[in-house]
Amino acid sequence: MQGEQHFLRSIYVLFKKELMSYFNSPIAYIYLAVFLVLGNWLFVKPFFLNGELSMRAYFTLLPWILLFMAPAITMRSWSEEKKSGTIEFLLTLPLSSWQLVLAKFAGALSFLLIGLLLSLTLPFSLNRLGDLDLGPVIGGYLGALCLGSAYLAIGLLASVMTKNQIIALITSLAICFVLFIIGQQFILVTVPVVIAKFFGFISLGARFDNITRGLVDSRDLIYYLSFSYFCLWLNVKLLEARKWQ
């Protein structure tokens, strides 16, 4: 019990530092502003033309916005620590690599969560216009959190491999993009059935669509959870191997 408490306490201290480091620089505010303005604008612009009171259009848009947002959040996570030499301090603390990785992940996820919470103004405003069906909205946000955590886990992994933030950004963007796109219909119809099945299974996108449609299947949630876990596990292994000099 004491050990567990200690395990979590150290994570909490590091997590606070992570979150503080986001908000100590103006970049955090720029990210949030861009995320909110872009999302809301692209959604609201055609909203009144459609004449439909739902957020479906927003949740088709969100994966693409997250695709850029998540790698931008994580790109400096490890790269900056390596560049400034603070990684040497972190890795010689009497902590386990899991504690370090979980703290980083929790910091990034909380930042994303703040962005998503701020975007809640959208469903609240829509709800005033009429009766908004809340099921798909809750599903949509749950899906965004799942997809976001998978993106962030990939982003952390890319960041641990290089001390260059830009390389981390582009690598994670590319991986996220590929893993998202292979589940889209126009890809699935062009490849053989076996591969299509496989793509459909590993794709981050298809499952997101399910969840936003309001079909919250535990298998999809478990998939996102295990995908994120796998990336974080790789992250721990890479950190311990110290192969990134």
Under rule CB under 8 A, residue 28 binds other proteins:
no
Residues 6+ apart with CB under 8 A from 106: 11, 15, 18
Contact segment (CB under 8 A) with other proteins among 58-66, 67-75, 84-92, 228-236 equals 84-92
| Cα separations in angstroms, 74 against 86, 137, 147, 177 | 17, 26, 14, 15
Q: Does 91 bind other proteins (CB under 8 A)?
A: yes
Residues sharing a CB contact under 8 Å with residue 43, sequence separation 6 or more, in sequence order: 55, 57, 58, 61, 122
- C-alpha span between 87 and 81 (Å, rounded): 5
One residue of 8, 50, 89, 217 binding other proteins per CB under 8 A: 89
Q: Name residues contacting other proteins, limited to 49-68 (CB under 8 A).
A: none
Q: Mask: binding to other proteins, 96-115, rule CB under 8 A, as x and -?
A: x-------------------
Length of the chain measured in residues: 245
Pick one of 1, 2, 7, 10: the residue that binds other proteins (CB under 8 A): 10
In angstroms, give the least distance from the CB of 33 to other proteins. Answer: 19
Residue of the chain from 41, 46, 51, 94 that contacts other proteins (CB under 8 A): 94
Non-local (6+) Cβ contacts of 173 within 8 A are 67, 68, 71
Contacting positions for other proteins (CB under 8 A): 6, 9-10, 13-14, 17, 20-21, 24-25, 84-89, 91-96, 242, 245
